[in-house]
Structure 1
């Protein structure tokens, strides 16, 4: 049995102008992951980046980011996170596909069978996320329109707690309507989340989900005692994921960056 689609996925780039963030060089790490993607996965159909593309959302950071992304040979599907600025992101990296006006939320059709829904969960001024009625209605309509297709959903914020301590204080707020919506859409085969900088998988509302590490710095495992006042990035390798779609399965391969700087 062969796989019909390959998608690359990375999250939480936290790009700065200098490259420095939380004691690591996120610029160098992004270059390393792009080099790996270009070398090992030239056949990928697209690369989804599920939010926190920059660290503070300034125009200067987006200019540096777009310069660094120019070397990626795979079509890019960017998304918004809590560290991003919606206006500046829309100006720097307009999304492709059909989307929701004034939000960074869109549908991308890979072919006549598979669609990706890249959602905007940003809540300006907060590290937590939101999915207001406008965004929820758009999602409901897209799920109605894709009833005869296979659908993968990407968000920045996970919908509710994942057992990650302090990170559970800033999920997608009021997430139950979102969970109910995707749980009642049988074509939704998998949910992919960013934000937590941890490799986590499970099932939410009957829908399998996956989160992965950041391209930049990693948060600490939940069994460690820490708070944001004494946070130190955990010494784990950054990672991206390779998503393979076959006739009867979806495979998510976590892939560490080789020898990260």
Structure 2
């Protein structure tokens, strides 16, 4: 049974700094890694961890170095796609020894497992908060789907392709979602889209396919759907998603970051 974990929006900053002068994102990522390592005993074999963008706050070499220092304690392999806070050049340099990082162009990749394939898409528009999928990325995706020939697939990207009602974030979503919809049209197999960017757990349909936005590891975009609300953060608990293939379908589990009391048996229940 194939299982992958999704974390998102780690926003690592240099040593001694807090993100937005408020959030210790490095401590939050360390706790996330510890939670994942503990989870392995309960959840069974996990094949991969995916980071759906915004690994760093400013895309600097120092931030990627710190990200990798923390992730070195992770007992599972991981892959990542860039978000709007990332930068391809420094990200590529940081991951140049991996087997999945492209040497040039957009950071797109695919890996195959027994039950499904995972495709990572680069939606970074350098210098902008919103995202786009470049023509080369869309063409590459279309080609991969042809080769997959109906095999179930998880497609990971940073920017969600639909509105969430948080207007300041919706203005920064994927700008050419219609072209992604065209690329997915006609695929005979099950597709699950997974995203980040909004720092909240939000699920919906896109082009008839289930799409799951993952909350961040350290803080959330404030849930404020008033038309005049600005962009702000709330320090809510971090979380991750466990995506698995079970009973011929995808299932997604929301898992909080941290250590909590329990498990306690249900007394008197058989």
Distance 2:253 2:217 in 1: 15
Structure 2 contact 2–47 (Cα < 8 Å) conserved: yes
Moved more, 52-61 or 163-172: 163-172
Partner of 1:209 in structure 2?
211
1:165-209 Cα distance to aligned partner (Å, 9 max, x none): 211101111220111221321224210011111111011110001
1:36-83 Cα distance to aligned partner (Å, 9 max, x none): 100112521110000000000001111111111100001011111100
Distance 1:148 1:220 in 2: 38
Distance 1:235 1:216 in 2: 7
1:10-43 Cα distance to aligned partner (Å, 9 max, x none): 0000001135113111000101010010011252
Partner of 1:96 in structure 2?
99
Q: Does 1:11 align with 2:14?
A: no
* Residue 52 (structure 1) aligned to one of 43, 54, 65: 54
Q: Give the TM-score normalised by the residue count of structure 2.
A: 0.88
Distance 1:191 1:148 in 2: 15
CA RMSD of aligned residues (A): 1.9
1:223 deviates by 3.1
Structure 1 contact 96–108 (Cα < 8 Å) conserved: no
Distance 2:183 2:255 in 1: 31
Structure 1 contact 160–173 (Cα < 8 Å) conserved: no
Structure 1 contact 118–154 (Cα < 8 Å) conserved: yes
1:189-237 Cα distance to aligned partner (Å, 9 max, x none): 2100111111110111100010021112211113355314xx3x21321
Give the unaligned 5+ runs of structure 1: none
Partner of 2:155 in structure 1?
153
**How many residues in Structure 1 have an aligned counterpart in Structure 2?**
253
Aligned counterparts, 1:80-119, within 5 A: 80-94=82-96, 96-97=99-100, 101-111=104-114, 113-119=115-121
Structure with larger Rg: 2
Partner of 2:266 in structure 1?
none
Distance 2:200 2:221 in 1: 7
Distance 1:193 1:114 in 2: 18
Residue 170 of structure 1 aligns to a residue whose secondary structure is coil
Structure 2 contact 23–235 (Cα < 8 Å) conserved: no
Distance 1:144 1:100 in 2: 24
Aligned counterparts, 1:190-209, within 5 A: 190-209=192-211
1:99 deviates by 5.5
Distance 2:125 2:161 in 1: 14
Distance 1:208 1:66 in 2: 31
Give the unaligned 5+ runs of structure 2: 261-270
Structure 2 contact 95–101 (Cα < 8 Å) conserved: no
Residue 234 of structure 2 aligns to a residue whose secondary structure is coil
Partner of 1:128 in structure 2?
130
